[in-house]
Structure 1
Amino acid sequence: MVRAVFLYRRDVMGRGMAATDIERGLSTAEVEERIAAGKINRNMELKIKSVRELIIENLCTLFNLINAVLAILVLLTGSFKNLTFLFVVFLNTAIGVIQSMRSKKMVDKLTLLTSKKAIAVRDGAEVELDLDQIVLDDIIRLGRGDQIPADAVVVSGEALVNESLLTGESDLIKKQPGSELMSGSFIDSGLLRARVIHVGADNYVAKINNEAKYVKKVNSEIMNALNAIVRFASLIMIPLGLALFASSVSELWDAAGTPGDSALSWCFSELLAGRVPSSALLSTVGALLGMIPQGLVLLTSSVLAIATVRLARRKVLAQQLYCIETLARVDVLCLDKTGTITSGRMEVEGTYPLPVEGVGFGADSDEAAVPVETTVLDFALANVARATSADANETCQALLNYYADRPVEVSEPLAVIPFSSSKKWSGASFAQGSYVMGAAQFVLSERAFAQVENRVAELADTCRVLVVARVDGFTPDGDMVGEAEPVGFVTIRDEIRTSAAETIGYFNEQGVTLNVISGDDPRTVSSIARVVGVPGADAYVDATTLDTPSKIDAAVDRYHVFGRVTPQQKRELVHALKRRDHTVAMTGDGVNDVLALKEADCSVAMAAGSDAARNVAEIVLVDNDFASMPAVVAEGRRSINNLQRSAALFLTKTLFSMGLAALCIAFPPYPFEPIQMTLINFFCIGAPGFVLGLEPNNARVKGSFLTNVLKRALPASLAVIMAAALDIFVARVFGFNRLTLSTMCLLTSCAASVSLIWRISQPLTPLACGAFCVCRRRHPGGCYRIPAAAVHRQPVDG
């Protein structure tokens, strides 16, 4: 970030400032000339998908294509009741569209410029313009509350500007003729005119905005597992389906008794005559439907949606469903110090006077026992803070709070020098003398700084250190007159959140690696990290030394505290951790955190932070309390652990359908039809799976989602396949018809489902016990009598 600002300044200084008359502004002809040249404030935004494109994208999926083909096959038979499986397809598609729309909404909201109009001077008059009507070299007027619409340089007037876009800090910076204004900053007070020097995509804010303006791929192990299952099923379905259909047709051809025709020619003749071999098609579609875990996607979305509702009650907003799962799997948590560990407010830790000559005086001007150095330091701090209170920065406010109830002589300022980002100090002149306050290396000469350097280093171990020095006065340009003579130091520290240590301790217990990333002095960051219990906080690094990718890679392996980090470096640090196969979460509240938040697997922002940070984050802590994070992890664990149990039911159906289809190629017919598979999905899988998905479960997530599910599903599916094989053997030996075979297979499937539900419900809870008892009662009556009576109208001998 710093490097980019310096380049920007050289560019500004190289352009000169006489291009446009301040009072007249641009003429109409000059504006048209710039519009024709493309020098207009229209950002070259990234292409964001439209609503229509998102709907088409979610409709045209492999999952929907498979189900559409199966639906067409069912329509050919005229058995419309067997289309009930499309209900789940519609729900899955609707959920996908809604999630895509939510992501699009987040991206559309990611704009750092919220103002809609600007005042420009053209042809000697002030006119109101839309932001995209501003052209290069326009003279714009900016007052209190205005957001700077384009990079500009001040040509007249003065103002205090909030440059949090660049620094992440809320300190107000005084701007006067010659000062640069960055797009996205706000005018806090004052009135000025400025000449536009960058427009459109060349603006600094546009570059930040465009870097973060993309739809991030969801890093969800559950979603990846579901996609893998569907892809695998789609590869198996085609050969199995064709083989099973051919086997069923061959069986029907044998039963038809037409030895003069081949099975293939007989099938085509039946199709052309409108006599579709419906039983063959329906049994094939039933087998293929069983291979697709239709309800698992719906159950996953439902469980995660319920988790977001629970979190909302705890004042946590989950803006993306799968982020709850991702946070529960995080093994590295990157914390932004300000706003996360600390409250963002400052407080005075202490004052440390240096020896001076003289006698101290009390508030009544009588000679007192108060040491003169203490009197001088307190006078300088209290009065410089009062004189520069218009700066409205946290340091100034902390000093005002500190001296609010302390008896210190008050003196009217004769001259005031507000804080400047270039000078790094503020000051004021009084009848008693002139004093400055700021960073020691910027206030003191090399000789004077060398004398106090050790003391500064000692104090800076835990706090931010400011030196207070006496000077001879100030020049009209606001520079110090004479060499600054230090009179003491004041230490300012961030107010640490009361819950920070407890929350950090929780993540330590869970085995999560903690990294603290901040733009502050690394020693200060390290001291705060030690106070709250971050492991390895003693080892820190100054990010200004990390000027190559290799150094960043080495640093993430060695350090857990990073200071003076730019926004780009924050993103690079997160990326380096992800390259090491870590699942990374990032917390932040400022615009300078946006790039890192977007890069992280899971991003968390404070509601009190910037709009850009809130909009890009997947989780927003509405009460701005880092202590809410354990609740999010708990909900993620509940969702993952319960879905692992429920997914075993769905995957059991998928695996036994594949195995049974392969078996029925050699021993037709396939015993299930589409409506039967739909009812099995609901009674044996969907309903109990949904109930199990709501149980409390705070156990630590272990292992791969797909591996854990397969361990439960594979034995159960093998049991169903073997039981079905036994049913087919018995039916053939005793000459049972298809209706009887179907009923037998339904009974064995239900029995296997009940036993699996019992197994995955351990240890039994009241909710799981109730679900098991209901399923045990409903499976036989609700799952085989209805299909047996409603689906089969006439028996077909096997």
Structure 2
Amino acid sequence: MNTKRYSYMEENVNQTEKEMAENEKQNQTGKEVAENADREQTETIRGLTAQQVAERKEKGLWNKKAESATKTTKEIVKSNVFTYFNLIFLVIALLLIGVGAFRDLTFLPIIVANTLIGIVQEIRSKKVLDDLSILNSPKTRVIREGSKKEIPAEELVMDDIVELSAGGQIPADAVVLEGQLNVNESLLTGEADEIVKKNGDELLSGSFVVSGSCLAQLTKVGEESYISKLTHRATQTKEGEQSEMIRSLNRLVQAVGIVIIPIGVVLFIQQFVYAGTPLRDSVTSMVAAIIGMIPEGLYLLASVAMAVSAMRLAKQQVLIHDMKCIETLARVDVLCVDKTGTITVPEMEVDQFILAEDLTKRVYEKDGDTKVYVDVKCGEEQEQKHAQIKGMIGEFAADMDADNATMEALKTYFKPDTLTKIKKAEKVFAFSSKTKYSGIISEGKSYVIGAPEFVLREDYAEYKDRIEAYSEKGYRVLVYGRYEGILDGQQLTEKVLPIAFIMLTNAIREGAKETFSYFTERGVEIKVISGDNPKTVAEIAEKAGICGADNYVDASTLTTDESIAQAVAKYQIFGRVTPDQKLKFVEALKAQGRTVAMTGDGVNDVLALKDADCSIAMASGSEAASQVAQLVLLDNDFSRMPSVVMEGRRVVNNIQRSASLYLVKNIFSMLLAVFSMISMINYPLEPSQISLISMFTIGIPSFVLALEPNKDRIQGHFMTNVLLKALPAGLTDFFAVSSLVLFCQVFGVNEEDISTSCTILVAIVGFMILYQIAKPMTAGHRVLMVGMVAGWLFCMIFVSHLFAIRDISGQCMMLTAVFTVAAESILRYLSKFVEWMRESLLVLKKKIHQATA
């Protein structure tokens, strides 16, 4: 037993008795002094007057955001109206009007309706998201006219005096007037180092306060601030940050946009110049081919589906900062979570504290076949000492400005009378994730509270078994002790004489077990990353139902990038993780081909959150995490996550199958246009007929299917899946129609009959494809199929003149029936062939991977 340590502790206790006696006298006036402290400070620094604020706003010197999370109404209208394809539609509409083909303008109402739907839906989504963003917008404490108030960061003006504290983001460029901060500038520099800022030092907007507090004066606001200029420069990288689905759709639209113009021009020249077709017929043939090749509603469909998802999630108190995260989360195969705030509630509470000398007296007793630690009996003298140490820890907590969960728990449990007094510590060192302690210097003596492994260092071995016994029960253990050196906020180099051990605990979040079970069942691996003792983290993880909770590692032993890469592939639970390591864990997982989602709630999580494929924050966490994360759970309910995944799967799977419908038309129209050019045969379909077919086999069904529930797991590459579904149908359409045209030519069928026959054939094949894509055939899908067929028949029978539909001969009808039957067989066999090819390629890819592994 180390007698020096405990005799020293008794000396401290005796000294504390004297201090507490003096405190009794001071407590009568302490509260009054505390109430006057803030008033005295604001007399020194009064801040701006209302008139000065108004003048600066008139001059534009207010903290306007560099960019909004959502587009403005004007931008929404512009992006929906002024598109490349709308320009093409305008040109071909003018061409049709020029040749008097007014009947073929039936596509225009559909284009206008698509545009209006897109505008209305995006504006609705914008309103919901903007309202939700206001609730989550950062607030800043500002001193104006001698009083403190909390206002949105956007309402700040130049020269405002603001109060900054741990966890907050610096809203604009500023200079420190009073106090001291540890600042994390990782979002600006990419380095996670903590930088000390003292009086006169410059603070850059976009950085975060790790510890400490200060008063600062704003020097640059709005677009002049550092973060605004940085954001403006960063906008050029946005394209590369698009999700796989949107990126694939963009590439498809761009490719089609490049191809349709030359094909249209060549087709017109072939028809008008070489075939001698009249100008009117040549223009309508060209327009029909171009309309068939344009996926006019596809991008709109994706935008509307995303907007509807964002609205649905907003109603569940889930704020989307970046729309791509809806899709990305549905593709995630690794979810990295923190213990506190995700598995457990953020609020901590002290369960008990034990004097250091009592902890070493704890003995083993048999509990069946298991040895457990039990407390020794304490006499009256020991109880008195216990109360005195409680007062010492209470005074320590009172000296701390830090507003974190740990310190709040200490203040709540120890409740010292000194909370009503002016703080007497000469220096205060807020908790740092690097040093793993917080400390004070009082009357020349240094005291610390922190993680025993880091604070006690070589002396930790003496207490290790006892501490781990508590850790295995899920407690977080802290040590309170006297540091033999002089604290400077850096790593401890001298001995710490332990005085007491504090046991803290967090309650498991309601619904956490079900949420983690949901992810596990869907093939998502859970990895818990925490700064706490790995045994504590493992115990909590096991209670939350996380698979592999007994597979843990102490991250302080992972000193190289190679060891981290091996660990993330092997372990599920990581304790004693530093902020730098969190980022390295994410990077290592991504390097191994994993799609990583990460939750975080602290300033030191921002780099890892930013690097993750999908980042999630709780609104109760730090402002830093909420502003960086792509997705924020406003009600701090992690059980909302399955809903987000479901939305992602709904969007991707439904748009994937709807995109197949559009691509069928594109493949068919492109091949048919090339066939017409080579065979010198007029394009067999008219623009109005293409519009009729598209409306009932693609347009309306695709929107209905895109907005319905879909829980299927996302597999494979988006565009590959779309092409594999669309290719058999597109080829079937082409083979059937081109063969029908050739046979009709042989039997001398006129062009009007050929056009009507092709319309019927393409529509029937379209309904076959819709039937395949709409499987399983639920009641809703049956209603959709019947409704679309009925709508098409109505147009064919009652308004046929609008779509150039004519009565056809019995001979032509027979040919149409024959090729319809043939089309069904062609579609079935082509689908089987494509599926066989897909499976063969997967097997080949797997063999190549095994050979190179």
Structure 1 length normalisation: TM-score?
Answer: 0.70
Once residues 538 and 218 of structure 2 are traced to their aligned partners in structure 1, the CA distance between those partners, rounded to angstroms, is 41
Comparing 507-516 with 388-397, greater Cα deviation is found at 388-397
Alignment length (residue pairs)? 696
Deviation string for 1:91-136 (max 9, x for gaps)? 5985999799999999x9999785678899xxxxxxxx986559xx
1:348 paired residue number: 350
- In the alignment, is the contact (CA less than 8 A) between 1:575 and 1:599 conserved in 2? yes
Code of the residue aligned with 2:263 in structure 1: it is L
State which of 78, 99, 103 in structure 2 corresponds to 1:77. 99
Code of the residue aligned with 1:600 in structure 2: it is A
1:296 paired residue number: 298
Once residues 141 and 729 of structure 1 are traced to their aligned partners in structure 2, the CA distance between those partners, rounded to angstroms, is 80
- In the alignment, is the contact (CA less than 8 A) between 1:642 and 1:697 conserved in 2? yes
State which of 634, 654, 661 in structure 2 corresponds to 1:642. 654
Once residues 673 and 331 of structure 2 are traced to their aligned partners in structure 1, the CA distance between those partners, rounded to angstroms, is 37
Once residues 315 and 251 of structure 1 are traced to their aligned partners in structure 2, the CA distance between those partners, rounded to angstroms, is 63
Instruction: Tell me whether 1:306 sits opposite 2:308 in the alignment.
Output: yes
Please state how far the C-alpha of 1:346 moved relative to its aligned partner: 0.9
State which of 112, 115, 125 in structure 2 corresponds to 1:87. 112
RMSD of aligned alpha carbons:
5.6
Deviation string for 1:396-436 (max 9, x for gaps)? 543465578xxx99999999548623794568999xxx995
Deviation string for 1:689-721 (max 9, x for gaps)? 222233332222223333333333222223322
Comparing 717-726 with 629-638, greater Cα deviation is found at 717-726
Once residues 312 and 692 of structure 1 are traced to their aligned partners in structure 2, the CA distance between those partners, rounded to angstroms, is 22
Code of the residue aligned with 1:779 in structure 2: it is W
- In the alignment, is the contact (CA less than 8 A) between 1:649 and 1:713 conserved in 2? yes
Once residues 99 and 583 of structure 1 are traced to their aligned partners in structure 2, the CA distance between those partners, rounded to angstroms, is 31
Instruction: Tell me whether 1:684 sits opposite 2:693 in the alignment.
Output: no
Secondary structure at the counterpart of residue 650 of structure 1: helix
Please state how far the C-alpha of 1:515 moved relative to its aligned partner: 2.7
Code of the residue aligned with 2:516 in structure 1: it is I
Instruction: Tell me whether 1:725 sits opposite 2:738 in the alignment.
Output: yes
1:710 paired residue number: 723
Code of the residue aligned with 1:644 in structure 2: it is Q
Please state how far the C-alpha of 1:627 moved relative to its aligned partner: 0.6
Instruction: Tell me whether 1:606 sits opposite 2:614 in the alignment.
Output: no
Code of the residue aligned with 2:385 in structure 1: it is V
1:489 paired residue number: 501
Residues 677 and 611 from structure 1, CA distance in 2 versus in 1: closer, same or farther, beyond 3 angstroms? Answer: farther
1:671 paired residue number: 684
Please state how far the C-alpha of 1:619 moved relative to its aligned partner: 2.5
Once residues 762 and 48 of structure 1 are traced to their aligned partners in structure 2, the CA distance between those partners, rounded to angstroms, is 37
State which of 514, 521, 530 in structure 2 corresponds to 1:509. 521
Code of the residue aligned with 1:583 in structure 2: it is T
Instruction: Tell me whether 1:326 sits opposite 2:351 in the alignment.
Output: no
Please state how far the C-alpha of 1:387 moved relative to its aligned partner: 6.8
1:750 paired residue number: 763
Instruction: Tell me whether 1:395 sits opposite 2:417 in the alignment.
Output: no
Once residues 755 and 147 of structure 1 are traced to their aligned partners in structure 2, the CA distance between those partners, rounded to angstroms, is 57
Instruction: Tell me whether 1:586 sits opposite 2:598 in the alignment.
Output: yes
Once residues 411 and 232 of structure 1 are traced to their aligned partners in structure 2, the CA distance between those partners, rounded to angstroms, is 69
Code of the residue aligned with 1:618 in structure 2: it is Q
Code of the residue aligned with 2:779 in structure 1: it is P
1:29 paired residue number: none
Structure 2 length normalisation: TM-score?
Answer: 0.66
- In the alignment, is the contact (CA less than 8 A) between 1:377 and 1:488 conserved in 2? no
Once residues 46 and 638 of structure 1 are traced to their aligned partners in structure 2, the CA distance between those partners, rounded to angstroms, is 29
1:247 paired residue number: 270
Please state how far the C-alpha of 1:284 moved relative to its aligned partner: 1.1
Please state how far the C-alpha of 1:606 moved relative to its aligned partner: 2.0
- In the alignment, is the contact (CA less than 8 A) between 2:159 and 2:219 conserved in 1? no
Once residues 648 and 159 of structure 2 are traced to their aligned partners in structure 1, the CA distance between those partners, rounded to angstroms, is 47
Secondary structure at the counterpart of residue 697 of structure 1: coil
Secondary structure at the counterpart of residue 420 of structure 1: strand
Once residues 746 and 321 of structure 2 are traced to their aligned partners in structure 1, the CA distance between those partners, rounded to angstroms, is 59
Query: What percent of counterpart residues are identical?
Result: 34
Deviation string for 1:468-509 (max 9, x for gaps)? 45899999x9xx9x9875444222233331322221121111
Residues 236 and 92 from structure 1, CA distance in 2 versus in 1: closer, same or farther, beyond 3 angstroms? Answer: farther
Once residues 209 and 483 of structure 1 are traced to their aligned partners in structure 2, the CA distance between those partners, rounded to angstroms, is 46
Code of the residue aligned with 1:630 in structure 2: it is P
Once residues 633 and 428 of structure 1 are traced to their aligned partners in structure 2, the CA distance between those partners, rounded to angstroms, is 50
Residues 393 and 558 from structure 1, CA distance in 2 versus in 1: closer, same or farther, beyond 3 angstroms? Answer: same
1:338 paired residue number: 340
Once residues 717 and 723 of structure 1 are traced to their aligned partners in structure 2, the CA distance between those partners, rounded to angstroms, is 10
> Equivalences for 1:442-461 in 2 at 5 Å?
451-456=462-467, 459-460=470-471
Please state how far the C-alpha of 1:776 moved relative to its aligned partner: 1.9
Instruction: Tell me whether 1:694 sits opposite 2:719 in the alignment.
Output: no
Code of the residue aligned with 1:504 in structure 2: it is F
Deviation string for 1:157-177 (max 9, x for gaps)? x79x8989999xxxxx9x999
Once residues 546 and 556 of structure 1 are traced to their aligned partners in structure 2, the CA distance between those partners, rounded to angstroms, is 13
User: Which structure has greater helix proportion?
Assistant: 2
Please state how far the C-alpha of 1:765 moved relative to its aligned partner: 0.9
Please state how far the C-alpha of 1:306 moved relative to its aligned partner: 2.9
Residues 785 and 354 from structure 1, CA distance in 2 versus in 1: closer, same or farther, beyond 3 angstroms? Answer: same
Q: Which runs of 5+ in 2 are unaligned?
A: 1-43, 46-60, 147-154, 188-193, 360-376, 813-853
Secondary structure at the counterpart of residue 497 of structure 1: coil
1:226 paired residue number: 249
- In the alignment, is the contact (CA less than 8 A) between 2:69 and 2:321 conserved in 1? no
Instruction: Tell me whether 1:439 sits opposite 2:447 in the alignment.
Output: no
Secondary structure at the counterpart of residue 467 of structure 1: strand
Residues 76 and 421 from structure 1, CA distance in 2 versus in 1: closer, same or farther, beyond 3 angstroms? Answer: same
Secondary structure at the counterpart of residue 651 of structure 1: helix
Deviation string for 1:618-646 (max 9, x for gaps)? 32222211111011112222233333332
Deviation string for 1:330-367 (max 9, x for gaps)? 1122223332222211123443444469xxxxxxxxxx
Once residues 187 and 581 of structure 1 are traced to their aligned partners in structure 2, the CA distance between those partners, rounded to angstroms, is 32
Once residues 53 and 309 of structure 1 are traced to their aligned partners in structure 2, the CA distance between those partners, rounded to angstroms, is 19
> Equivalences for 1:172-321 in 2 at 5 Å?
215=238, 217-250=240-273, 253=276, 277-321=279-323
- In the alignment, is the contact (CA less than 8 A) between 2:157 and 2:218 conserved in 1? no
Comparing 59-68 with 604-613, greater Cα deviation is found at 59-68
Secondary structure at the counterpart of residue 342 of structure 1: coil
Secondary structure at the counterpart of residue 684 of structure 2: coil
Code of the residue aligned with 2:669 in structure 1: it is S
Instruction: Tell me whether 1:384 sits opposite 2:393 in the alignment.
Output: yes
Once residues 375 and 166 of structure 1 are traced to their aligned partners in structure 2, the CA distance between those partners, rounded to angstroms, is 48
- In the alignment, is the contact (CA less than 8 A) between 1:525 and 1:561 conserved in 2? yes
Secondary structure at the counterpart of residue 526 of structure 2: strand
Please state how far the C-alpha of 1:747 moved relative to its aligned partner: 0.7
Please state how far the C-alpha of 1:541 moved relative to its aligned partner: 4.6
Comparing 702-711 with 292-301, greater Cα deviation is found at 702-711
Once residues 450 and 643 of structure 1 are traced to their aligned partners in structure 2, the CA distance between those partners, rounded to angstroms, is 59
- In the alignment, is the contact (CA less than 8 A) between 1:567 and 1:592 conserved in 2? yes
- In the alignment, is the contact (CA less than 8 A) between 1:117 and 1:131 conserved in 2? no
Once residues 210 and 472 of structure 1 are traced to their aligned partners in structure 2, the CA distance between those partners, rounded to angstroms, is 50
- In the alignment, is the contact (CA less than 8 A) between 1:676 and 1:787 conserved in 2? no
Once residues 296 and 519 of structure 1 are traced to their aligned partners in structure 2, the CA distance between those partners, rounded to angstroms, is 46
- In the alignment, is the contact (CA less than 8 A) between 1:415 and 1:428 conserved in 2? no
Once residues 254 and 263 of structure 2 are traced to their aligned partners in structure 1, the CA distance between those partners, rounded to angstroms, is 15
Code of the residue aligned with 2:430 in structure 1: it is S
Residues 310 and 716 from structure 1, CA distance in 2 versus in 1: closer, same or farther, beyond 3 angstroms? Answer: same
Please state how far the C-alpha of 1:575 moved relative to its aligned partner: 3.8
Please state how far the C-alpha of 1:773 moved relative to its aligned partner: 1.0
> Equivalences for 1:650-669 in 2 at 5 Å?
650-665=662-677, 666-669=679-682
Once residues 610 and 233 of structure 2 are traced to their aligned partners in structure 1, the CA distance between those partners, rounded to angstroms, is 9
2:512 paired residue number: 500
2:834 paired residue number: none
Secondary structure at the counterpart of residue 682 of structure 2: coil
Once residues 261 and 429 of structure 2 are traced to their aligned partners in structure 1, the CA distance between those partners, rounded to angstroms, is 71
Q: Which runs of 5+ in 1 are unaligned?
A: 1-22, 25-39, 121-128, 135-139, 168-172, 257-276, 358-367
Comparing 518-527 with 722-731, greater Cα deviation is found at 518-527
1:421 paired residue number: 430
Secondary structure at the counterpart of residue 308 of structure 2: helix
- In the alignment, is the contact (CA less than 8 A) between 2:289 and 2:673 conserved in 1? yes
- In the alignment, is the contact (CA less than 8 A) between 1:332 and 1:582 conserved in 2? yes
